[in-house]
Amino acid sequence: MQGHFVLLSLLSLAACDYGTAASGLYPSYFLTSVDGETLPVPSGTDGSELVAGGLSFGGPTRVRESKPVNGLVSYRLSLRLSDHSITTSNVDLNYSIENDTLRINLCPSLALCIVSEELIGPITDSHSELVLTHYLAGSPGAIYRFFPSLPD
Protein backbone atom coordinates (compact mmCIF):
# COMPACT_ATOMS: atom_id res chain seq x y z
CA MET A 1 0.00 0.00 0.00
CA GLN A 2 2.81 2.40 0.89
CA GLY A 3 4.52 1.57 -2.45
CA HIS A 4 1.39 2.64 -4.34
CA PHE A 5 1.39 5.96 -2.46
CA VAL A 6 5.03 6.62 -3.40
CA LEU A 7 4.34 5.70 -7.03
CA LEU A 8 1.26 7.94 -7.16
CA SER A 9 3.23 10.79 -5.58
CA LEU A 10 5.98 10.48 -8.18
CA LEU A 11 3.44 10.34 -11.01
CA SER A 12 1.71 13.43 -9.61
CA LEU A 13 5.00 15.31 -9.48
CA ALA A 14 5.78 14.30 -13.06
CA ALA A 15 2.33 15.40 -14.18
CA CYS A 16 2.75 18.75 -12.45
CA ASP A 17 6.15 19.18 -14.08
CA TYR A 18 4.77 18.58 -17.56
CA GLY A 19 1.59 20.46 -16.72
CA THR A 20 3.59 23.68 -16.45
CA ALA A 21 5.00 23.17 -19.93
CA ALA A 22 3.34 25.70 -22.19
CA SER A 23 4.09 23.77 -25.34
CA GLY A 24 6.73 21.77 -27.13
CA LEU A 25 8.22 20.79 -30.43
CA TYR A 26 8.02 17.47 -32.18
CA PRO A 27 11.47 16.04 -33.08
CA SER A 28 10.98 16.66 -36.83
CA TYR A 29 8.65 18.37 -39.29
CA PHE A 30 8.22 18.26 -43.06
CA LEU A 31 7.34 21.22 -45.26
CA THR A 32 3.82 21.00 -46.71
CA SER A 33 3.23 24.40 -48.34
CA VAL A 34 4.59 27.85 -49.05
CA ASP A 35 2.14 30.76 -49.15
CA GLY A 36 -0.77 28.32 -49.32
CA GLU A 37 0.62 26.44 -52.35
CA THR A 38 1.41 22.74 -51.83
CA LEU A 39 4.84 21.51 -52.87
CA PRO A 40 6.41 21.65 -55.39
CA VAL A 41 6.46 25.46 -55.67
CA PRO A 42 8.56 27.73 -57.89
CA SER A 43 11.84 28.83 -56.32
CA GLY A 44 13.74 31.67 -57.91
CA THR A 45 13.67 32.87 -61.50
CA ASP A 46 15.69 30.06 -63.10
CA GLY A 47 12.80 27.56 -63.32
CA SER A 48 13.79 25.59 -60.22
CA GLU A 49 11.17 24.25 -57.82
CA LEU A 50 11.17 23.63 -54.08
CA VAL A 51 10.14 19.97 -53.81
CA ALA A 52 10.75 19.15 -50.13
CA GLY A 53 11.90 20.63 -46.87
CA GLY A 54 12.13 19.79 -43.22
CA LEU A 55 13.17 20.73 -39.72
CA SER A 56 14.83 18.31 -37.26
CA PHE A 57 15.18 19.32 -33.64
CA GLY A 58 16.86 16.04 -32.69
CA GLY A 59 14.34 15.08 -30.02
CA PRO A 60 11.21 16.31 -28.27
CA THR A 61 11.65 19.82 -26.91
CA ARG A 62 9.60 20.93 -23.92
CA VAL A 63 9.06 24.65 -23.47
CA ARG A 64 8.43 26.26 -20.12
CA GLU A 65 6.74 29.60 -19.82
CA SER A 66 9.45 30.99 -17.54
CA LYS A 67 12.57 29.74 -19.34
CA PRO A 68 13.71 30.56 -22.89
CA VAL A 69 15.01 27.60 -24.89
CA ASN A 70 17.94 27.77 -27.31
CA GLY A 71 19.31 25.06 -29.54
CA LEU A 72 20.21 23.82 -33.00
CA VAL A 73 17.79 22.76 -35.70
CA SER A 74 18.73 20.96 -38.89
CA TYR A 75 17.05 22.75 -41.83
CA ARG A 76 16.78 20.79 -45.09
CA LEU A 77 15.57 21.98 -48.50
CA SER A 78 15.44 20.01 -51.77
CA LEU A 79 15.22 21.78 -55.13
CA ARG A 80 14.49 20.41 -58.58
CA LEU A 81 16.69 22.42 -60.93
CA SER A 82 15.73 23.43 -64.46
CA ASP A 83 17.72 20.42 -65.82
CA HIS A 84 15.46 18.18 -63.61
CA SER A 85 18.28 17.20 -61.26
CA ILE A 86 17.59 17.40 -57.52
CA THR A 87 19.88 19.18 -55.09
CA THR A 88 19.49 19.08 -51.32
CA SER A 89 21.00 21.42 -48.78
CA ASN A 90 21.12 20.71 -45.07
CA VAL A 91 22.36 23.27 -42.56
CA ASP A 92 22.33 23.46 -38.77
CA LEU A 93 20.81 26.72 -37.57
CA ASN A 94 20.30 28.34 -34.18
CA TYR A 95 16.79 28.59 -32.83
CA SER A 96 15.19 30.09 -29.76
CA ILE A 97 11.79 29.76 -28.13
CA GLU A 98 10.43 32.39 -25.82
CA ASN A 99 6.82 33.18 -24.90
CA ASP A 100 5.59 30.33 -27.15
CA THR A 101 7.29 31.87 -30.20
CA LEU A 102 9.84 29.93 -32.26
CA ARG A 103 12.58 31.94 -34.01
CA ILE A 104 14.96 30.21 -36.40
CA ASN A 105 17.95 32.34 -37.41
CA LEU A 106 18.59 31.55 -41.11
CA CYS A 107 22.16 32.88 -40.91
CA PRO A 108 24.38 29.82 -40.30
CA SER A 109 26.82 29.91 -37.39
CA LEU A 110 30.12 31.61 -38.22
CA ALA A 111 28.64 33.16 -41.39
CA LEU A 112 28.63 36.92 -41.95
CA CYS A 113 25.07 37.93 -42.70
CA ILE A 114 24.52 41.60 -43.43
CA VAL A 115 20.71 41.44 -43.16
CA SER A 116 18.78 39.49 -40.54
CA GLU A 117 16.76 36.59 -41.92
CA GLU A 118 14.50 34.45 -39.72
CA LEU A 119 11.57 32.08 -39.66
CA ILE A 120 9.21 33.10 -36.84
CA GLY A 121 5.94 31.64 -35.61
CA PRO A 122 3.88 30.51 -32.65
CA ILE A 123 4.04 27.11 -31.01
CA THR A 124 0.63 25.86 -29.94
CA ASP A 125 1.48 22.28 -28.95
CA SER A 126 3.86 19.51 -29.93
CA HIS A 127 1.40 17.84 -32.31
CA SER A 128 0.35 20.89 -34.32
CA GLU A 129 1.80 22.16 -37.53
CA LEU A 130 4.30 24.99 -37.40
CA VAL A 131 3.27 28.07 -39.35
CA LEU A 132 6.44 30.12 -39.78
CA THR A 133 6.73 33.48 -41.49
CA HIS A 134 9.95 34.31 -43.31
CA TYR A 135 11.30 37.68 -42.18
CA LEU A 136 14.00 39.51 -44.12
CA ALA A 137 15.37 42.62 -42.39
CA GLY A 138 12.27 42.66 -40.20
CA SER A 139 9.80 42.59 -43.11
CA PRO A 140 7.40 39.63 -43.33
CA GLY A 141 7.40 37.50 -46.46
CA ALA A 142 6.44 33.94 -47.39
CA ILE A 143 4.55 31.70 -44.98
CA TYR A 144 5.90 28.16 -44.55
CA ARG A 145 3.76 25.35 -43.09
CA PHE A 146 5.52 22.38 -41.51
CA PHE A 147 3.67 19.29 -40.30
CA PRO A 148 5.02 16.96 -37.58
CA SER A 149 6.73 13.85 -38.97
CA LEU A 150 5.75 10.49 -37.57
CA PRO A 151 8.55 8.51 -35.94
CA ASP A 152 10.05 5.61 -37.91
Residue-wise pLDDT for 7-28, tens only, equals 333 333 333 333 333 457 888 9
For 15, phi and psi rounded to 5 degrees? Answer: -65, -40
The full set of domain ranges for the chain reads: 22-148
Q: pTM higher than 0.75, yes or no? A: yes
CB-CB contact of 137 with 128 (8 Å): no
Query: Which pLDDT score is estimated for 17?
Result: 34
CATH fit for domain 22-148, picks 1.10.1060, 1.10.540, 2.40.160, 2.60.40: 2.40.160
Q: List pLDDT tens digits, range 30-58.
A: 999 999 999 999 998 899 999 999 999 87
On the CB side of 105, CA atoms within 13 Å amount to 18
Q: List pLDDT tens digits, range 103-135.
A: 999 998 888 889 999 999 998 876 789 999 999
